[in-house]
C-alpha cells in the first residue's frame, strides 16, 4: 500500500472517530449554522442550477438546504452513484416530496433508481453553477479527503469539459472534519471554499 493511501486511511479513521463522538443535537446545530452561512453566500444566492448531496449520518444535514433550493425556485440535482465504478450522474430532483420517495441503496443512501430515465442529467443540458461537496475531511487550502471512490473528482472532470465549465464548489463541514493538512495527489480536485462553524 502506498504511503499516500496509508496516510489517507489513517486520517479517515481519525476523522470518523471525531465525528462519531458528536451527538445528534450537535450535528443538527452545526448543520443549521452552516446552512445559514450558505443561504447568505453570493454564489448560492445567484446560482440557478445546484447539485446537493443527500446527507449520511456523518455529514452536515442537507435537507434544510434542499428545502431552501426549492423555495427559491432553483433547479436541484442529486447524485446517483454507480456502485460498480466511480461513475456518478447528477439527476434532477423535482420537489421535497420527490426526495422522500427515492429508493435506498445498499449504502443506505437515497438516490434515483438505475432504471429511472425520466430525470434530466445536469450535464446533458445547462450544466451546473454550484456543487455542494461532501467529504470526510478538509483543510483550509481547499484539499478534500473523500471516501476513496473518486466519484466527485471524476464528475468534476466531466464538468470541466462541459461548455459551461467547472461549477463553483463549496464543501459543507462540521468543524471536526477540518484538518491541518490533507495528503493529496495529482488527481484530487481542489474545492473553492469550505463552510463550517467558526470557533469564536
Please tell me whether 149 is known to bind a ligand. yes
Please tell me whether 144 is known to bind a ligand. yes
Please tell me whether 142 is known to bind a ligand. no
Please tell me whether 24 is known to bind a ligand. no
Nearest-5° Cα angle at 141, 137 to 143: 40
Cβ(55)–Cβ(62) under 8 Å? yes
Please tell me whether 9 is known to bind a ligand. yes
Please tell me whether 72 is known to bind a ligand. no
Please tell me whether 67 is known to bind a ligand. no
Q: Counting beta carbons within 10 angstroms of the beta carbon of residue 125, is it exposed (0 to 12), middle (13 to 18) or buried (19 or more)?
A: exposed
Please tell me whether 29 is known to bind a ligand. no
Please tell me whether 145 is known to bind a ligand. yes
Largest separation between any pair of C-alpha atoms in the chain: 48
Query: What's 106's DSSP letter?
Result: T
Helices (H), the chain: 3-20, 24-40, 42-46, 63-71, 96-100, 151-161
Please tell me whether 148 is known to bind a ligand. yes
Q: Which residues face 139 on adjacent strands?
A: 179
Please tell me whether 147 is known to bind a ligand. yes
φ/ψ (deg, to 5) at 7: -65, -40
Q: Which residues are annotated as a binding site?
A: 8-12, 54, 59, 144-152
Binding residue positions for substrate: 54, 59
Which residues fall in the annotated binding site for ATP?
Answer: 8-12, 144-152
Amino acid at each position: 500500500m502506498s504511503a499516500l493511501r496509508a496516510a489517507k486511511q489513517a486520517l479517515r479513521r481519525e476523522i470518523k472517530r471525531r465525528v462519531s463522538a458528536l451527538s445528534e443535537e450537535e450535528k443538527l446545530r452545526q448543520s443549521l449554522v452552516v446552512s445559514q452561512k450558505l443561504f447568505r453566500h453570493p454564489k448560492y444566492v445567484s446560482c440557478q442550477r445546484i447539485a446537493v448531496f443527500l446527507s449520511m449520518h456523518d455529514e452536515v444535514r442537507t435537507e434544510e438546504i434542499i428545502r431552501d433550493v426549492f423555495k427559491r425556485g432553483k433547479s436541484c440535482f442529486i447524485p446517483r452513484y454507480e456502485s460498480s465504478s466511480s461513475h456518478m450522474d447528477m439527476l434532477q430532483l423535482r420537489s421535497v416530496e420527490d426526495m422522500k420517495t427515492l429508493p435506498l441503496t445498499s449504502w443506505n443512501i437515497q438516490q434515483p433508481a438505475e432504471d429511472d430515465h425520466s430525470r434530466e442529467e445536469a450535464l446533458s443540458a445547462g450544466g451546473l453553477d454550484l456543487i455542494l461537496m461532501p467529504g470526510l475531511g478538509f483543510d483550509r487550502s481547499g484539499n478534500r479527503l473523500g471516501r476513496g471512490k473518486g466519484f466527485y473528482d471524476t464528475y468534476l472532470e466531466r464538468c470541466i469539459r462541459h461548455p459551461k465549465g467547472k461549477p463553483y464548489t463549496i464543501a459543507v463541514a462540521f468543524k471536526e472534519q477540518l484538518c491541518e493538512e490533507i495528503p493529496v495527489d495529482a488527481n484530487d480536485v481542489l474545492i473553492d471554499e469550505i463552510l463550517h462553524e467558526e470557533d469564536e
